[in-house]
Chain A
């Protein structure tokens, strides 16, 4: 369990300050303790880079504060919330803080990543320490000028006051403060004294977003920039044989047509970290003066493809995954006691299988990236969740030094894991290298959805044994396309609560590209497990909530260091969810479903309310209770929580993606259903108030939603749902006729 106690680490190790040539002070620091600074911050702002630090604060001599935020912004709100943490400890007014997206230079880079809901959790100590250290230096400078003890001075909103009532602004003393030693010990605020954290701060990019200013990768333009659209394999498992570009080349605006792929293959041979699953087929890049000309000319390329590896279908995958579940070739990820023996001795056994499909990420901003490869440098600009990793791969692919790569991050039109992958960065660099022009590679929606990266299709089989009214055994088996669950998951609830407990995983190696998708694995596992618990409670004829609480009572998290979740915090979210949702006290036409879950270091409970309309169950409301520790920015947090819940409802209801002959069934939103306004339930979110260190919010409210509605549908229709999306089996979403008449 995390606590709010400060981790002691040397200020010298992660912070450096310098006087700016134009006046003011620059503070460079590292958000992550793993980073070790090697250089001093520059005195000239034009030399600002992130070689040795990964974030900077500038305090101008007029007192204005600029925070160069390092982490990529994908809609999770860190560009607002991370600077809030600094501003709180620095003790300035939030309205006086200006936030800029930091750029990326790749040497010695680490952890500049948007992913895993970890930005705030990892940044918490360093951001606070930095703000507090800068504040202390400013106070020390004022105290020296007055000739008083710094301990006699107080600060409010950037104004320092001494015991005699004299005042100095931060701007008045910043040039003196920059020359002082970085203090080793500074006091952090008590949460009760927070003035910025815990209060709503509007998204820092709100004005640009609401007036349509250039902000996203697709909006980026540079002098002489041309556009590229790529002809990609029509299906997974195909490779290019030949092509005729004569018609395309005669079309208006078309500048060039080039084949790419050789360099990516070289990179894959040298560094498989990029992904062994990525298509090594050649692609044809159509370069034109405008996006539309490139899109049109792309359609005019006549390409011939042949089968390279097996072209696969959903039917094949279904059989392969079932065979894996039925087989014995598992990787055992956690094993407590002896499940086999416990099942043999059980009075009753419940076993169920749950299925989920591939899912495209469908970021609304299609994948795109700008690259300008010249002899002097490689300039990359665009939306990417893993900038350092991709910049390194580009350097390797082009045989360049990492210091020659300059990567700038734009705001991203959604991430959801898709922009961790970065194939589009590599493509842009290869195209620009081939044509030696600044170029932006733009995916059509069809490229993005139809031949992209997907959440892997997965099946879970869960088996529980009951003896003398107690759950004595629990065995979770996973069969996944390409990659199974990561190592933390087997230690999530109910690990530690059941004596004989085992988690096994097996994977089928497919040529369909798969990757992380918002709340990887748990996005479906939570639904499967929590539906199973409900069914288990029905079998045992016990109260569904009490069964969960009883299991949590058995967990001794202190005794097992693998267990990160807190049974106490889990019980608290359950208790509050019961209370806030009116669990058990609803009118008879409201059917409820319950889920509690832990992932990404946060504890969540959700209750779905379902009502019958025209003979079909309709999700009317979700009550969501979250314990993510201290809530830095309540409006941003509620937005994340609600978005996660609705995303979870939408994908478990409608999200489906099937393959036939290696080709996805949908290429665009005409054949792929995302949740829309009329289908959106009311969401009521409650945050547990405590003073524990903050944890992630980008993902943890999504996984419970599917299970909550599945359990509510069961209450409403009598039907258990074992397959997502739930609309795949419309006959199960009908209320038995006698009840409709009633």
Chain B
């Protein structure tokens, strides 16, 4: 099996996996970073969202070749101690019900706010439309993104 060098949360990692292995499963099964979740495997639900060079991407649909030389950030690497303003807003609003989708929601929201620090409600809704929350905590997700924007501003 080929060996890949990837950069995850600031650290270089060597992984020895089949070339078709999605980044999601490299993170979860090889690097023990289980915060990134498996929901659908086809890029439809957003539970596996990570940042690749700062852009939110579906790790279930990314191969290692696609992230070669790029920097991956997962929910574990968003902050040392959960202090990122988006994580803080999630706590302030008490968003989760079951909580399974929330890492993906937070990663989508974080990348979005990097590019659009003062979004309108409509822009937030559009940005978060790709992430399913089966418990339907949507109104709190929206509120938390707006709260984070306010706190970051």
User: Quick check: B18 and A445 within 8 Å, CB to CB?
Assistant: no
- Give the contacting residue for B132; candidates A75, A77, A210, A669; CB below 8 A: A669
**Residue A683, interface by CB 8 Å:** yes
User: Quick check: A414 and B18 within 8 Å, CB to CB?
Assistant: no
Q: How close is B137's CB to chain A, nearest CB, in angstroms? A: 6
Q: How close is B145's CB to chain A, nearest CB, in angstroms? A: 10
Which residues of A sit under 8 angstroms from B132, Cβ to Cβ?
A: 364, 669, 674, 676
A216 to B135 Cα, complex, angstroms: 15
Q: How close is A382's CB to chain B, nearest CB, in angstroms? A: 14
Given contacts A210-B82, A680-B136, contact A74 B129 (CB under 8 A): no
User: Quick check: B87 and A210 within 8 Å, CB to CB?
Assistant: yes
User: Quick check: B91 and A677 within 8 Å, CB to CB?
Assistant: no
Closest to B45 in A: A669
User: Quick check: A444 and B37 within 8 Å, CB to CB?
Assistant: no
**Residue B56, interface by CB 8 Å:** no
A726 to B106 Cα, complex, angstroms: 32
Closest to A680 in B: B138
Band of interface residues on B: 35 or more
**Residue B14, interface by CB 8 Å:** no
Q: How close is A206's CB to chain B, nearest CB, in angstroms? A: 5
**Residue A203, interface by CB 8 Å:** yes
User: Quick check: B45 and A364 within 8 Å, CB to CB?
Assistant: yes
**Residue A658, interface by CB 8 Å:** no
Tell which of A549-557, A607-615, A638-646 binds the partner: A638-646
User: Quick check: A643 and B18 within 8 Å, CB to CB?
Assistant: no
User: Quick check: A212 and B142 within 8 Å, CB to CB?
Assistant: no
User: Quick check: B126 and A643 within 8 Å, CB to CB?
Assistant: no
Closest to A362 in B: B134
**Residue A678, interface by CB 8 Å:** yes
A732 to B56 Cα, complex, angstroms: 38
Q: How close is A212's CB to chain B, nearest CB, in angstroms? A: 2
**Residue A243, interface by CB 8 Å:** no
User: Quick check: A363 and B99 within 8 Å, CB to CB?
Assistant: no
Which residues of A sit under 8 angstroms from B81, Cβ to Cβ?
A: 211
Closest 5 A/B residue pairs (Cβ): A212-B35, A75-B98, A413-B100, A212-B75, A646-B136
A-B contact pairs, 19 of them (CB 8 A): A203-B94, A206-B96, A207-B91, A210-B106, A211-B79, A218-B34, A221-B34, A291-B29, A292-B18, A296-B20, A363-B134, A364-B39, A414-B134, A444-B41, A639-B97, A639-B137, A646-B136, A669-B42, A678-B125
Contacts from B to A (Cβ < 8 Å): 1, 17-18, 20-22, 25, 28-30, 32-42, 44-45, 47, 74-76, 78-79, 81-82, 87, 90-91, 94, 96-103, 106, 125-126, 128-142
Query: Told that A210-B87, A212-B76 touch, could you supply 9 new A-B pairs with CB distance under 8 A?
Result: A76-B97, A210-B82, A211-B35, A252-B18, A414-B98, A643-B135, A674-B132, A675-B136, A680-B125
